[in-house]
Amino acid sequence: MHIVIIGSGIAGITFAEEFKKLQPDARITVLTHEDHGYYSRPMLSHGFSREDVETKIILRSFEDLSAAGIEILAGAEVLSLDRVAKAVRFRRRGEEFVLNYDKLVLAPGSDAFIPPPFRAAKDLYRVLNSLDDLIALRRQRAAILARGETPRWAVVGGGLIGCEAGSDLAKAGDRVVLFHALPRLMERQLVEADSATLLEVLRNLGIEVRLDAAVQGFERAGGNYAVKLENGSEDGFHGILVACGFKPRTELAQAAGLEVNRGIRVDGFLRTQDPDIHAIGDAAEFTDGRLYAYVLPIRHQAMWLARFLAGQTAEPWQPPAFKPRAKVHGFVAAHPYLF
Ligand SMILES: Cc1cc2nc3c(=O)[nH]c(=O)nc-3n(C[C@H](O)[C@H](O)[C@H](O)COP(=O)(O)OP(=O)(O)OC[C@H]3O[C@@H](n4cnc5c(N)ncnc54)[C@H](O)[C@@H]3O)c2cc1C
């Protein structure tokens, strides 16, 4: 049996490793954009205050995975799926290839969500969604520090990633202004009292938090950047980090005629409408509209799918109990997170 996996995040690699354990003779191929190896995405938001992050973040090198019998095609971009021929078309090092599968596992993860008004100005901001993004941000920071200046950032979005990354930039010694369109922080994950505690924690870290501040766009101002607001603008930023949520990568599935909504639609067996194609991780959406974009349930999905495809369970996947937690320095929620 040849299993092809698209994506080398926690979903794709956990599945590959588990399936290899259960079926050592199976051929497993992972296709991925990445070149760095399998890394911890949650660690990205603590990538400024730690010096060693670019090495510590790698959980498994691609060489180690290959040595364990998992074929990794790094630096590959999957272009399309052919469900009739059971094949994927991909580009790697300037050439196009076709690879056949018996079972296909879609684990393409998610992009950073960019609100429509920001899209035309994509040269003016950065996101923190991949190790390449972190490396680019760290280089930008190092260049500012090398000029003897203190980096000053606009972080747009007071959700989980904006608050975590803002707190880490502040911990690293930078100046941070955090803009949030709503009257309280992390309103999707926290009860009101915890949002208030979080606000205090961020302010104590030296972060200027602007609530009810709906950002309209960005512009260059002098040598730096400005954030446009409804009633004027705020300038003097060395960089802008947009952290406005995530967008599951559904394009390949949609182009192949699979049902997509916010994510790729799957049933309780993590199966798309095509019985030979499964989807897991940030990209998978269940029939009740839920997405499980946290590492614990994703790891659980991947382990379950390996057992299912190895014929070791016939029961549908059941989400595990899990407690999301924001990694904001100094913040502990007093109440359970909302999910
Ligand atoms: C900054 C940050 C902090 C976070 N912190 C936490 C946390 O503290 N706790 C927590 O539980 N969760 C956290 N999360 C969420 C968690 O990291 C994600 O839910 C999880 O990483 C998703 O894993 P995945 O394997 O589904 O997708 P991903 O990790 O996105 O991996 C998908 C892979 O597919 C590849 N790919 C996609 N399309 C193609 C294609 N066409 N061709 C080739 N390759 C392709 C991508 O390059 C990528 O390597 C955080 C996320 C971020 C961004």
* Domain annotation covers residue 336: no
Residues 189 and 271 in one domain: no
Q: Look at residue 256 and tell me if it is in a domain.
A: yes
In a domain, 315, yes or no: no
Taking CA atoms only, the protein residue closest to ligand 1 atom 34 is 7
Most informative mutation of 35, 65, 295 for ligand 1 (most atoms within 8 A of CB): 295
Confidence label for 234 from pLDDT (cuts 50, 70 and 90): very high
CB of 86 within 8 A of CB of 274?
no
Give me the CATH number covering residue 278: 3.50.50.60
Query: Would you say residue 339 has pLDDT above 90?
Result: no
Tens digits of per-residue pLDDT, 236-252?
999 999 999 999 999 99
From the CA of 11, give the closest atom in ligand 1: 25
Quick one: 60 and 128 in the same domain? no
Residue with CA closest to ligand 1 atom 27 = 109
pTM: 0.97
CA distance 101 to 62: 21
Contact residues for 64 (Cβ-Cβ < 8 A; gap 6+): none
Ligand 1 pocket by C-beta < 6 Å: which residues? 6-12, 31-34, 41-42, 44-45, 76-78, 107-110, 128-129, 161, 249, 252, 281-282, 293-296, 298, 327
Do 163 and 236 fall within a single domain?
yes
- Last residue of a domain, which of 242, 259, 294? 242
Q: What is the CA radius of gyration of the chain?
A: 21
Is 54 a residue whose pLDDT tops 90? Answer: no
- Its domain, for residue 125, covers 114-242
Average pLDDT, whole number, for the chain? 97
Nearest of 284, 281, 282 to residue 253 by alpha carbon: 284
Contacts 24+ apart (CB under 8 A), 83-87: 83/256, 83/257, 83/274, 83/276, 83/277, 86/276
In Å, how far are 36, 103, 300, 307 from 320, measured between CA atoms?
A: 30, 25, 7, 16
Same domain, 136 and 118: yes
Q: Domains in the chain: how many in total?
A: 2
| C-alpha span between 211 and 158 (Å, rounded) | 9
pLDDT tens per residue, range 250-281: 999 999 999 999 999 999 999 999 999 999 99
Q: Name the burial class of residue 207, with classes exposed (0-12), middle (13-18) and buried (19+) by CB atoms within 10 angstroms of its CB.
A: buried
Q: What is the pLDDT of residues 211-232, one digit of tens each?
A: 999 999 999 988 899 999 999 9
Bridge partner list, 237: 225
Same-domain check for residues 83 and 118 = no
Q: Which two tokens stand for residue 276?
A: 């030979």
Give per-residue pLDDT as tens, 140-191: 999 999 999 999 999 999 999 999 999 999 999 999 999 999 999 999 999 9
In a domain, 331, yes or no: no
Same domain, 160 and 181: yes
Residue 320 lies in a domain: no
pLDDT tens digits for range 87-146: 999 999 999 999 999 999 999 999 999 999 999 999 999 999 999 999 999 999 999 999
For 61-82, how does the pLDDT look when each residue is reduced to its tens digit (9 = 90+)?
A: 999 999 999 999 999 999 999 9
In ligand 1, the atom with minimum distance to the C-alpha of 293 is 19
Q: Which atom of ligand 1 lies closest to the CA of 281?
A: 26
Residue nearest to atom 47 of ligand 1 (CA): 33
> In this model, does residue 31 exceed pLDDT 80?
yes
- Give CA–CA dist 253/185, Å, rounded: 34
DSSP states along 272-297: -SSTTEEE-GGGEEETTS----SHHH
- Of residues 209, 154, 149, 150, the one with CA closest to residue 180: 209
Q: What angle do CA 101, 104, 105 make, to 5 degrees?
A: 150
What pLDDT, on the 0 to 100 scale, is given for residue 59?
Answer: 98
Short-list 85, 82, 86, 87, CA closest to 99 = 87
Indicate if 18 and 93 belong to the same structural domain.
yes
The DSSP letter of residue 159 is S
pLDDT over 80 at 44, yes or no: yes
Residue 225 lies in a domain: yes
Q: Which of 310, 311, 318 is nearest to 269 (CA)?
A: 318
Burial class of 106 by CB neighbour count within 10 A (0 to 12, 13 to 18, 19+): buried
Whether 211 and 285 share a structural domain: no
Does one domain contain both 81 and 185?
no
- Do the bridges between strand 2-6 and strand 110-112 make them parallel or antiparallel, or are there none, so unpaired? unpaired
Q: Which residues contact 142 (CB under 8 A, 6 or more apart)?
A: none
Confidence tier at 55 by pLDDT (50, 70, 90): confident
State whether 159 and 231 are in the same domain.
Answer: yes
Degrees to nearest 5, angle at CA 42 with 70 and 23: 20
Residue 118 and residue 74 share a domain: no
Q: Is 221 part of a structural domain of the chain?
A: yes
Which residue CA neighbors atom 22 of ligand 1 most closely?
282
Residue 231 CA to ligand 1 center (angstroms) comes to 36
pLDDT of residue 25: 96
Verify that 272 and 224 share a domain, yes or no. no
